[in-house]
Chain A
Amino acid sequence: MNQANLIQALTQILGQENVLTSETDLAVYGYDGSLHSALPDVIVLPKTTEQVSAIVSLASKKGVPIVARGSGTNLSGGSIPLKGGIVIHFSRMNKILEIDIENQRAVVEAGVINLDLQNALSPYGYYFAPDPASQKVSTMAGNLAENAGGPHCLKYGVTTNHVLGAEIVLPNGEVLGIGGKASDYSSYDLLGVLVGSEGTLGIVTKMIVRIIRKPESVQTFLAIFDSLEGAGNAVSAIIGAGIIPATLEMMDRTVIKAIEESIHAGYPLDAEAVLIIELDGIKDGMGRLAQRIEEICKRNHVREVKRATSEAEQAKLWEGRKGALGALARLKPNYLLEDGTVPRTKLPGVLKKVVEIGKKYQLEIGIFLHAGDGNFHPTILFDARNEDERKRVLLAGTEILEVCVEAGGTLSGEHGIGIEKIHEMSLLFSPLELESMRHLKGAFDPREVFNPGKLIPENR
């Protein structure tokens, strides 16, 4: 099918105003939060599942690739239309269809923004647990596709633990409901493999998610350390003492400085590391727990543990953490954000190695971590116009991933493989394992219509 025919057919399905082809549009939809970019041939903005199904049938018959896109916050190149074709943008499928308190479920369209759902649930005293830092803009189906995490994963799990059902469009255009408001349906766990599949298995149009009651009490602490090691050891010691807080977030000196310059969250500029520790749940006993955490921090040479005394103070501490990447991004034109995860106990050693890698390649690296999960984000700051620096960044990035894998960890905790880490997949998986992943892909999308060139390296 030639370009003009394709666009004409899409226009028939969607109306002219929902088919974008201008040069500016193509450029805007050609990049995401990663270092990659590639231009689509056309962007479509469907309003209904039926339209998505019609678009997919059409493209599939003609062998045109399709990339589903939410808000494009992806950090691994997952939303880049690597092989051109159609980008389906879900901004117009953004309705919260149902809030069902007695079944503890919400039903949403793919393009609902995470924070919009949270705001809609709030008056009922409920929330959706996954809280990626991008939640102000990222969409629910994007969260599903990446199996998004967030600070509160430590206690509440990641997106896959909170999605119960989905309506998906298969490559032949068929609309299929999987899962539902109940759990334990008799079948293979198709939803389980769909979550985190980066848009390569099916296109999600609706989701059924678990919603949970807001905790009666939340206490947030800022622990200030004079060494990165002290903060790392405190994290291990808290978990080792049998305490699982709602969050255990850590930021190093570079990140603290960047945040204070732009957000003023109240982190001390002369600290080597800070921890944000949050407890939530039943208020009884929380005081004793807080005291134990403080003692553990003291044993690990904390300078000070401050407790947020109001909701405004809590919000301020979180504003800093959630704005960490944005603040870092202001320092240099470009950044490479890594997302390795290692067993918690290996964290102090791995952090040390990351600092060494930074020195070796003469790069500025800011590190913020979901420390309680062993998931850390070394952010390498650079200027892509400097060819030599760019090369060193990529080498350092790969070396950091190798360190993670050696420590018994993994390539990505929450950002996905996309394009960015596709070559490193063979560090972690044997050819046999990659072949099994291709079998899974083949069972859903044998002709590779959905998001081609992502997640699994090509068979060579």
Chain B
Amino acid sequence: MAQTLSEIVGSQNMEDPSSHPAKLYSIDGMIPKVVLFPGNIEEVSQILTFSSQERESIIPWGNGTKMGWGNIPSKVDRVVNTKRLDRITDCEEENLTATVEAGVPLVKVQAHLRGLGRGYFIPLDPPFTQAATIGGIVASNSSGPKRYLYGTARDLILGMKVILPNGKINSWGGKSVKNVAGYDMCKLYIGSFGTLGIIGEVTFRLLPLPEKERTLVAVFRESRAAFEAVSGILQSELLPSAIEISNLKVFEVLGFELSGKSGKVLLAVGFEGFHESVERQIRQVKERVESSSPFCVYLLEGAHQDRFWTGLRDFESIAYLRFPDTISCRVNVPISKTGDVFRLWKEMMDEKGLDLGLRCHAGSGIVYADILMNDPNLGTEEWFKILRKAREAIRNLEGGMVIQKASPLLKKQIDVWGTPGKDFSLIQNLKARFDPDRLLNPGRFVGGI
């Protein structure tokens, strides 16, 4: 076996992870037999062809920022690391498209696009700003605050090259925004956690860099007033790029100095676009927010503004460094229920006396709850109850909850994705047709698929 794999990628592009002292390639404590670094999509295809014949499972891996997500895999044989799929294949900035390989960090693509012509960007701002790769972002359908204006990966991807579990290569979509030739197959690979194929290359829709960006930040005494302000903004003619509400714990962890310390909740509203439009909107949103009696209001731009948004975006990675035992949950609900979820989490954690970082994309119905634990006194049984309670309450709000980070011990007791919905038989059908031997990321996604 070793010989054939080394013939495909070259022996210098293989690693024996058991010899690795830092357990770099451990997934929930499971160590793969080998880590492979293919240099192009053709090599990925050969690895998958060979592995499917041998019934060896494959774990796709980018920069590893989200390898803790998902259920515990049922089988970990080979890791395919996309690090060497690091080319920006093609940029047609005048056509507003860019094609990049899966292993390129988004930050690198953005830097490249900024320098092209008048300056462009991919309107995605997911967490792990410095490290997250294109493949990982797309496979996990990762998004950030600006999704309010620009949408998520499914709105921004025009084409994709994928490698199927049997090694066959498929190209989907193209370079146009409108394309209805056949099924929209790209959608199958966004957010499916590498369980249907390995993403090799992605074509994105670009936008010209905005002329101007500004942000309003307001500190409120309690969350209700902040969410009321948001509801007013959502129904106004304003077109923000992001609407975020966080509790002050988030900013304490990030080490941001805020003079409104006696407040409890922070609202941030970002605007970007043409100069005149941003100036007028920031004026208007300030008047609007001030009428909701905040404790204080700031306006940010330039470096302060960049630092603010990057910090908020990267909160979880910063929190994990300080609190390695953090349990993270991600909730999706209809927009108007966001405040209910915020309060639900706050009350539950106040009751337990636990520190909690709460952030939400208030205009999109997404809430992140990070339970920051230095010394978890609660047993897994207790956690199981808490998470189940939260999940039930959220289901009643027509939403769902994913546990993004938890110890393997806890993950053994609870499906991090929640109980599969009625659509699970269709999901099983799809998995069975595309990956009949369950070789790609087995066990990690919904219902242990």
Contacts and interface: CB of A to CB of B under 8 A. Distances in A.
Interface of A: 100-105, 146-147, 149, 153-154, 157-158, 160-161, 170, 176-178, 180-190, 192-193, 195-197, 213, 215-216, 236, 239-244, 281-282, 284-286, 288-289, 341-345, 370, 373-375, 408-417, 421, 425, 428-430, 432-433, 436-437, 439-444, 455-456
Which of B182, B364, B423 lies at the interface centre, i.e. has the most chain A CB atoms within 10 A of its CB? B182
A182 B400 CA distance: 9
Which of A215, A236, A428 lies at the interface centre, i.e. has the most chain B CB atoms within 10 A of its CB? A428
Given A102-B231, A176-B423, A240-B94, A183 B365 contact: yes
B402 interface: yes
B151 A157 contact: yes
Given A102-B336, A181-B398, A182-B333, A236 B94 contact: yes
A53 to B, nearest CB: 14
Given A102-B335, A344-B94, 7 more contacts: A103-B365, A184-B332, A197-B183, A239-B94, A285-B275, A375-B176, A440-B188
B426 A443 contact: yes
A192 B187 contact: yes
B291 to A, nearest CB: 19
Contact of A149 (B178, B209, B430): B178
B449 to A, nearest CB: 9
Interface in B341-396: 364-366
A182 B363 CA distance: 11
A437 B174 contact: no
A343 B97 contact: yes
A193 B192 CA distance: 13
B159 to A, nearest CB: 10
Interface in B198-249: 207-209, 231, 234-237, 239
Given A157-B151, A161-B155, A188-B188, A103 B334 contact: yes
Contacts of B118: 241-242
Contacts of B332: 182-185
Contacts of B181: 410-412, 417, 421, 425, 428-429
Given A282-B280, A443-B426, A443-B430, A192 B184 contact: yes
A158 B178 contact: yes
Contacts of B196: 188
Contacts of A216: 237
Contacts of B183: 193, 196-197, 437, 440-441, 455
B299 interface: no
A432 B433 contact: no
B185 A437 contact: yes
Which of A184, A286, A289, A443 lies at the interface centre, i.e. has the most chain B CB atoms within 10 A of its CB? A184
B298 interface: no
Interface stretch (B22-30, B52-60, B163-171, B257-265): B163-171
Contact of A345 (B95, B174, B234): B95
B331 to A, nearest CB: 9
Contacts of A442: 429, 433
A245 to B, nearest CB: 12
B295 interface: no
A182 B421 contact: no
B276 A181 contact: no
A343 B175 contact: yes
A373 B365 contact: no
A185 B208 CA distance: 30
Contacts of B402: 186
Contact of A183 (B97, B152, B426, B427): B152
Contacts of A188: 188, 191-192, 196, 426-427, 430, 446
B237 A186 contact: no
Contact of A147 (B154, B180, B208): B180
B230 to A, nearest CB: 11
Nearest to A285: B276
A238 to B, nearest CB: 11
Contacts of B420: 187
B176 A341 contact: yes
B20 interface: no
Given A342-B176, A412-B181, A432-B168, A189 B430 contact: no
A415 B188 contact: no
Contacts of B177: 153-154, 157-158, 373-374
B49 interface: no
A182 B334 contact: yes
Nearest to A435: B168
A217 to B, nearest CB: 9
A189 B187 contact: yes
B179 A341 contact: yes
Contacts of A429: 181-182
B418 interface: yes
A432 B49 CA distance: 14
Contacts of B434: 436, 439
B179 A425 contact: no
A443 B435 CA distance: 12
Given A239-B94, A341-B179, A436 B426 contact: no
A265 B208 CA distance: 33
Nearest to B365: A182
A291 to B, nearest CB: 12
A153 B178 contact: yes
A189 B398 contact: no
A75 to B, nearest CB: 11
B179 A284 contact: no
Nearest to B176: A341
Which of A181, A370, A444 lies at the interface centre, i.e. has the most chain B CB atoms within 10 A of its CB? A181
Given A182-B334, A189-B187, A196 B171 contact: no
11 contacts: A103-B336, A103-B365, A160-B187, A197-B183, A213-B237, A242-B208, A284-B277, A344-B94, A440-B185, A442-B429, A443-B430
Nearest to B433: A439
Contacts of A284: 274, 276-277, 279-280
A373 B174 CA distance: 13
B32 to A, nearest CB: 25
B309 interface: no
A334 B332 CA distance: 50
B13 interface: no
Contacts of B333: 182
A205 to B, nearest CB: 15
Which of B184, B209, B276, B446 lies at the interface centre, i.e. has the most chain A CB atoms within 10 A of its CB? B184
Contacts of B231: 102
A209 B281 CA distance: 27
A375 B178 contact: yes
Contacts of B304: none
Nearest to B209: A242
Contacts of B279: 284
B436 to A, nearest CB: 10
Contacts of A244: 207-208
